[in-house]
Structure 1
Amino acid sequence: MGIKGLLPFVARASRKGAITEFKGKTIAVDVSCLLHRSFTGCAFDVAQGKRSQVYINLIRRYIDLLLRLECHVILVFDGQPLPAKKDTNQRRSQSRSHNLELGLICMENGDRAQAFKHFQMSAGITPDIVQHAIEEFRTILNVDIIVAPYEADAQLAHLIKSGIADAVVTEDSDLIPFGCETIIFKLKEDSSCVIYERKLLHKCVNRGLASKFNFDVFRRICIMSGCDYFPDGIPKVGLQKSVN
């Protein structure tokens, strides 16, 4: 959904923790977030359509961290583009193409540093990158792989709501309005993380609203403040103004 300011808004429903709290649990991983993060280290390869071990190694480190805790890991990949986000996806695609062109121009001019910046902004997850990752991890014991019908968000939320997974590892705050009960943000290799719990979300609104907090209303507020499905939102209506 791309909701601006959502993570700071839910600070009272979040706490510092450690992934060790989830030992033996089933953890769903939003792989797209890991892939996008890894592109900072392999932008040149991705821009040229080449496979890279950089994103494979990053995903593997997270898998290894969870497997050491005897977790069942479910890797969830994005599937087809969501029709409801056609305009947003088109703008992003145009931006990536434009940055790729600028990157190639910079390379021709010998400005490798500036080219790298443009290549980073041009990097996107391709079907071949997804296939590469699946090939690497599909045979690992206690690791399952799901390619969502469309975006991974809804699939991850379904895994939580149906009781298949106990928590989601992601950097995408969109999982909050999708209704995930427990989300693990900012997971580091030293096991530290930030743990969001939906049951504490009422603490993020003023006292007058807390007693009659309604998650469906909260979701609508997120949409009205501006998201991928309603990019401009309602003018001058943000999260804080909507709930206070």
Structure 2
Amino acid sequence: MGISGLLPLLKDIQVNRPLSDFAGQTIAVDAYVWLHKGTYGCAPDLATGKQTTRYIDYAMHRVRLLQHYHIQPYIVFDGGPLPAKKGTEADRKKRRDENLARANVLAAQGKHSQAREYYVKCIDVTPQMAYQFIKALRAGSVPYVVAPYEADAQLAYLERTGLVDGILTEDSDLLVFGCKQVLLKLDVVASTVSCISRSDFASMASGSSGGISLFGWSDLQFRHMAILSGCDYLPSIPGIGLKTAWMLLKKHKTVQNVVRALSLEGKKKVPEGYLEAFQLAEKVFLYQRVYDPTQQMLVHLTNPPNDEEWDAETEAYVGE
């Protein structure tokens, strides 16, 4: 989930802060992060069809923790499947099915501890499970929204339009979507979070522990680096991670130049049609469809261009 290696790369600008620092703010929360983590304690029950509400108890405990510190939670749910992630979702389903089969075999052999490890890996949060969380939120008058497609784009839109002050998630993609204040690693015991502020990107000089400098880099350059390294919408060119993507962009300036140079060099195999696929992936980060709670209608994350590059295929790819 997210951009592999991005959070460790940015560890120099991650600041551990008490929840009390965010009192009076509205913080949007990725609902499925809490729901997924909540399933860890009841994975065998869920996988074998037994009734449990432990995952709801887990999520609501965190809602109440934010409220205790006078933070208004705004819970955001994933919606329908996004065409751009068809391949990613298919791979995840295949892994879940394999893990369920292994868990059932181990459970039948009486190896319940080992089986539990695989049950945890096979759980998928269903719309029915999300609805149980929604009912609990309604009972507590906690605001929420179901995104038309992915929660990430919806979270970014809420922050961009000023409806929330920051995002609480575990997904590094939010930084690629351009979010300004991303909160991670909620510690319920210490009541702290790790905060990444986009304004601190410029302080990452070449001497940083991540080994890269983002000084002077634009949102576009950062986004291109992340997509080149591989994301949910596009696998990376084999052998290219974040640091290599950063070096290539620093040297060649544009993605088009990077792809051309790699093709001429011949050391790394560039998949056929990669540049076109890259451009489609970037459109998902820029123009994915979201719900505007103020206007009560579907809109694009940002207004798409009015040119020949925006066709029906692209429209479907970012969410009809």
| TM-score relative to the length of structure 1 | 0.93
Alignment of 1:35-74 (within 5 A): 35-74=35-74
Alignment of 1:138-157 (within 5 A): 138-141=138-141, 143-157=142-156
Would the aligned equivalents of 1:74 and 1:144 in 2 still touch at CA under 8 Å?
yes
Aligned to 1:227: 231
Matched, 1:242 2:245: yes
Would the aligned equivalents of 2:204 and 2:215 in 1 still touch at CA under 8 Å?
no
The one-letter code sitting in structure 2 at the alignment partner of 1:98 is E
Would the aligned equivalents of 2:82 and 2:149 in 1 still touch at CA under 8 Å?
yes
The one-letter code sitting in structure 1 at the alignment partner of 2:99 is N
In the TM superposition, residue 229 of structure 1 has moved relative to its aligned partner by: 1.1
Range with greater deviation from structure 2 (209-218 or 17-26): 209-218
Would the aligned equivalents of 1:222 and 1:239 in 2 still touch at CA under 8 Å?
yes
Distance of 1:175 and 1:137 partners within structure 2: 24
The one-letter code sitting in structure 2 at the alignment partner of 1:228 is D
Matched, 1:129 2:129: yes
Over the residues paired in the alignment, what is the CA RMSD in angstroms? Answer: 1.8
In the TM superposition, residue 13 of structure 1 has moved relative to its aligned partner by: 2.8
Aligned to 1:19: 19
CA shift digits 1:104-161 (9 cap, x unpaired): 12222222112111111100111111111111121213x1011111111000011111
SS of 2:143's partner is strand
Would the aligned equivalents of 1:13 and 1:196 in 2 still touch at CA under 8 Å?
yes
In the TM superposition, residue 32 of structure 1 has moved relative to its aligned partner by: 0.9
Alignment of 1:65-144 (within 5 A): 65-141=65-141, 143-144=142-143
Would the aligned equivalents of 1:13 and 1:198 in 2 still touch at CA under 8 Å?
no
Would the aligned equivalents of 1:11 and 1:204 in 2 still touch at CA under 8 Å?
no
Distance of 1:3 and 1:184 partners within structure 2: 16
The one-letter code sitting in structure 1 at the alignment partner of 2:230 is G
Gapped regions of structure 1 (runs ≥ 5): none
In the TM superposition, residue 212 of structure 1 has moved relative to its aligned partner by: 2.7
The one-letter code sitting in structure 2 at the alignment partner of 1:118 is Y
Q: Which has the higher contact order (CA 8 A, sep 6+)?
A: 1
Distance of 1:123 and 1:76 partners within structure 2: 20
Distance of 1:87 and 1:235 partners within structure 2: 17
State the identity %.
37
Distance of 2:203 and 2:246 partners within structure 1: 11
Aligned to 1:165: 164
| TM-score relative to the length of structure 2 | 0.72
CA shift digits 1:209-238 (9 cap, x unpaired): 65531111111110100111112x123322
Would the aligned equivalents of 1:205 and 1:243 in 2 still touch at CA under 8 Å?
no
Distance of 2:37 and 2:46 partners within structure 1: 13
Would the aligned equivalents of 1:169 and 1:183 in 2 still touch at CA under 8 Å?
yes
Aligned to 1:218: 222
Would the aligned equivalents of 2:76 and 2:155 in 1 still touch at CA under 8 Å?
yes
SS of 1:52's partner is coil
Range with greater deviation from structure 2 (198-207 or 23-32): 198-207
Larger radius of gyration: 2
Shift in CA distance, 204/19, structure 1 to aligned 2, threshold 3 Å: same
Gapped regions of structure 2 (runs ≥ 5): 248-320
SS of 1:156's partner is helix
